[in-house]
């Protein structure tokens, strides 16, 4: 581990600020409590749209985002949708790739490794007999997800592989997808 | 259950085609095997971009999507990112809302319920002491997710609530988030 070494910015990561943030949270652990949010509105059929913007963290409501992020989801034609966006389950594949990649860039910067390229592909196998209600023995969700990274940088192969492994060990999305999370669902009828 | 009743299109759902699809899959269960995919490329720092388009399902590669879907992810300023997109964990919140909403529209159409509005909010609590490596007792991922639906339609409250419950019981994303899924991670160094 070299995370205690003084490092300059690298890989587009402001490494000094990253370490200063870590020190601030060490001193005030309450700063680490975050709440993220999304809201969603049904459009028509299987087409719906989420808006993401505000969150709580570091002791305050975030004010740094100046616009909403909006995302459409839909089912494809073969599932009687209208292709207005990816399926909800495909966003899970985006989330795991994005989380591992973001962590990797931070970890590489902290370890003094300059990355030249990071690409990944994610595949998820799902048997729709579950969600279609045609088999009680088939789960609703993915049966397995495979992530493959191709990484290049100015370090030996074992060091590059170590970056991915450390990112996996610190990934919020990897944790949620592999271990699950309690989901509470409530309803108001208007 | 009223799914065996002949139903016309409703809620933007082509209900006859939905039932025909169910019948086709009953006859040929192999049609239910799907593989979804995403690819991701690191941009700079914690900013990266995923592309979603092709998938396998219903016995063939999909050809109905005519363009790529692309999504940026990033960390916010307070986490030393540049706000080029939501965080990866926020996409999980979008995914669960979108999945439950899409299922709800299909189930309502199948049951002959006309929906007038469906909105949902999702919150996820996360303590970053985990991913920051500052506590071995705090998990990396969300500690809990809360989903709240507000639904209106031409049916009594218990029927509307039953739509949400059936959607939960058939949701791929709800299953993955609550039960977890095996994730296999492999690496190539370029």
DSSP, residue by residue, A45-97? TTEEEEEE--EEETTEE-----S-EEEEE---GGGT---SS--HHHHHHHHHH
Give, for all 190 residues of chain A, the pLDDT tens digit.
Answer: 444 567 889 999 999 999 999 999 999 999 999 999 999 999 999 999 999 999 999 999 999 999 999 999 999 999 999 999 999 999 999 999 999 999 999 999 999 999 999 999 999 999 999 999 999 999 999 999 999 999 999 999 999 999 999 999 999 999 999 999 999 999 999 8
Record the pTM: 0.96
State the sign of the Cα–Cα–Cα–Cα dihedral A97, A77, B65, B84.
negative
pLDDT at A1: 47
Interface residue A42 vs chain B (CB under 8 A): yes
Helix axes B88-110, B157-169, angle to 10 degrees: 120
Write down the pLDDT at residue A5. 60
Query: Which of chain B's residues have a Cβ under 8 Å away from the Cβ of A44?
Result: 11-12, 105
Give the minimum alpha-carbon distance from A5 to chain B in angstroms, rounded to a whole number: 16
Distance from CA of A139 to the nearest CA of B (A): 8
Q: How distant is the Cα of B162 from the closest Cα of chain A, in angstroms? A: 10
Which residues of chain A neighbour B110 with C-beta distances below 8 Å? none
Please, what's the largest Cα pairwise distance for chain B? 60
Containing B157, the helix (H) or strand (E) segment is helix B157-169
Q: Is B28 on the interface with A (CB under 8 A)?
A: no
Contacts of A146 in chain B (CB under 8 A): 183-184, 186
pLDDT value for A190 = 87
Is the pLDDT confidence value at B184 over 80? yes
pLDDT at B4: 52
Chain B's closest residue to A104, CA to CA, is B46
Q: List chain B residues with CB under 8 Å of A178.
A: 180-183
Q: Are the Cβ atoms of A95 and B75 closer than 8 angstroms?
A: no
- pLDDT above 70 covers a percentage of chain B that reads 97
Residue A42's closest chain B neighbor by CA?
A: B118
Asked whether this complex has an ipTM greater than 0.90, the answer is yes
The answer to whether A59 faces chain B, any CB pair under 8 Å, is no
B14 contacts in A (CB within 8 Å)? 45, 80
- Please indicate whether, in this complex, the C-beta atoms of A80 and B47 are within 8 angstroms of each other: no
Tokens 């839909």 -> residue? A74
């Amino acid at each position: 581990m070299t995370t205690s070494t003084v490092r300059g910015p690298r890989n587009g990561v402001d490494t000094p600020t990253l370490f200063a943030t870590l020190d601030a949270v060490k001193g005030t652990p309450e700063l680490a409590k975050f709440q993220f949010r999304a809201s969603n509105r049904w459009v028509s059929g299987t087409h719906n749209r989420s808006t993401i913007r505000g969150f709580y963290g570091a002791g305050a409501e975030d004010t740094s985002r100046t616009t909403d992020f909006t995302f459409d989801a839909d089912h494809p034609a073969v599932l009687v949708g209208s292709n207005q966006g990816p399926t909800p389950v495909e966003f899970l594949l985006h989330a795991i790739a994005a989380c591992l990649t973001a962590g990797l860039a931070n970890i590489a910067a902290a370890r003094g490794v300059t990355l030249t390229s990071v690409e990944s592909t994610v595949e998820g196998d799902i048997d729709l007999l579950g969600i279609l209600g045609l088999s009680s023995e088939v789960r609703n969700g993915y049966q397995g997800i495979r992530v493959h990274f191709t990484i290049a940088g100015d370090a030996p192969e074992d060091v590059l592989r170590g970056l991915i492994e450390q990112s996996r060990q610190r990934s919020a999305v990897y944790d949620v997808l592999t271990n699950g999370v309690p989901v509470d669902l409530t309803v108001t009828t208007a």
